[in-house]
Chains A and B, each alone.
Chain A
């Protein structure tokens, strides 16, 4: 709710863009106009969280299945809460409780979900392409909540939403993405979204995790973090997934922190209005210094709040497009 009596800016140009996708599979599929429409819609849904009654009837009577073949708590919870706020009913299925562990194929499991009249399936899967596979075969909406090292579109949408909200624009900004790019679906979605919206992107990390190959996507690559900190508008730190034992990619966590961690000394090199982002969960003391994670430049918790708004927008748009069919 705003107290400002400004009403001059509406209607926005995106009001004329139609959304026709029942599925959200990859940022790479979307046009700049579609991205902007999702962000504008998310801005409206973000407000629902500030209302006395934090619930709207837009998806009343719809059933959403959170189908997480790969474990996740925060993304699943965010989708669940987004569905609640839209008045949809939610069922959660994880890998261990699904019949996938009994040898059922992905397609058969999905067809069973459709036979139960699920309207929206939110899928996280370790294999790239699994959401696309389902979306092509089901009449239900399929939302990609992360597939292998391919894409994690709603994370990228909440990242650009947060940047746009804080800095007022995306075009012309310089964004550094730091860390494990090679295995990161977040990085791939972020790169696609940022480039489409006109930002400059520099990838930073050890050469084993940030190969020069990425330059083909239209981004810069550097292995020297100190060389770019003074000029970027946003640093997006990706989590080092040390539980996956990628020891062969860098010698030790200590060495990673020494070379690429956002320490207090490095944070002091940033422009005073530069944003510090992290998709979470953060490893305090590894990719980011604990004090820096809690500093005024950090928007890590904004990202969590905005994730909810962006997911409400995606559910509303995709379910709406499925109905229109």
Chain B
């Protein structure tokens, strides 16, 4: 487990939640993912990082900024809506917000990297792939996640992982970003 390095640890999102990654650790993990993406996809003009709303968009943007810092070229960043492709509407307590998808025109020429904050059952990723397929046929689809917490329900495996986090199925994982949640960047999980 990463040692928190912030001078003042931020307040937990739930009582007793344990800090897993602080802002520096998140930054390092995403920078490493950026290096790995560039290594496997040297032609940035044929790369697009597509975020899953809402925190996946933030993950996608940060990876893209790291790639720009490494390669001095900003890759295309998009948004892929998954709400209308989900198969679990009937068991969700709240209807997910439907966002506008932004994909490049030349999708057939590109590798799309789906970016999300947490990988759990894999159903969001499946919905994202279905959604992408309705727009066209990219050359490749890859998956980048900040946290992989296990418990897959589908045969899906991430290509780039910021942090492997063993959890029990009922434990909650919280990702917080300054830009969305107005608290310092951090990843938490419930105590067992």
Contact = CB atoms under 8 A, between A and B. Distances in A.
Contact of B134 (A2, A7, A45, A55): A55
Interface stretch (B76-84, B148-156, B163-171): B76-84
B104 interface: yes
B70 interface: no
A40 B103 CA distance: 18
Given A1-B103, A320-B95, A7 B79 contact: yes
Interface string A29-55: 000000000001101110110011101
B40 interface: no
A10 B99 contact: yes
Interface stretch (A13-21, A72-80, A188-196, A241-249): A13-21
Interface string B87-114: 1011011110111111111000000000
A53 B104 contact: no
A269 interface: no
A7 B100 contact: no
B9 interface: no
Contacts of A53: 133-135
A217 interface: no
A124 B102 CA distance: 36
A316 interface: yes
B101 A320 contact: no
A324 to B, nearest CB: 7
A227 interface: no
Interface in B33-51: 51
Nearest to A52: B136
Chain B interface size band reads 35 or more
Given A1-B135, A44-B84, A7 B97 contact: no
Interface in A289-322: 313, 316-317, 320-321
A300 B97 CA distance: 29
B85 A52 contact: no
A47 B100 CA distance: 7
A81 interface: no
A12 B134 CA distance: 24
Contacts of A12: 97, 99
Interface stretch (B21-29, B53-61, B139-147): B53-61
Contact of B78 (A7, A44, A317): A7
Given A2-B102, A45-B98, A57 B61 contact: no
Contacts of A41: 97-98
B95 A19 contact: yes
Contact of B84 (A3, A11, A56): A56
Interface residues of A, number: 36
Contact of B57 (A10, A51, A58): A10
A7 B51 contact: yes
B1 interface: no
A5 B45 CA distance: 13
A18 B100 contact: no
B97 A316 contact: no
Given A3-B105, A55-B134, A56-B84, A11 B94 contact: no
Contacts of A323: 89-90
A11 B97 contact: yes
Contacts of A47: 100-101
B130 interface: yes
Given A41-B98, A316-B98, A323-B89, A10 B54 contact: yes
B94 A324 contact: yes
Contacts of B76: 5
A216 interface: no
Interface of B: 51, 53-54, 57, 60-61, 76-79, 81, 83-87, 89-90, 92-95, 97-105, 130-131, 133-136, 180
26 contacts: A1-B101, A1-B135, A7-B60, A7-B79, A10-B100, A11-B97, A11-B99, A11-B180, A15-B54, A15-B99, A41-B97, A41-B98, A44-B84, A44-B98, A47-B100, A48-B134, A51-B135, A52-B134, A53-B134, A53-B135, A56-B84, A57-B85, A57-B130, A58-B84, A320-B89, A324-B95
Given A11-B54, A320-B95, 7 more contacts: A10-B100, A11-B57, A11-B180, A12-B97, A52-B135, A56-B84, A313-B98
- Closest 10 pairs between A and B when the two form their complex, measured CB to CB: A320-B95, A11-B54, A53-B134, A44-B98, A58-B84, A56-B84, A15-B97, A2-B102, A41-B98, A44-B100
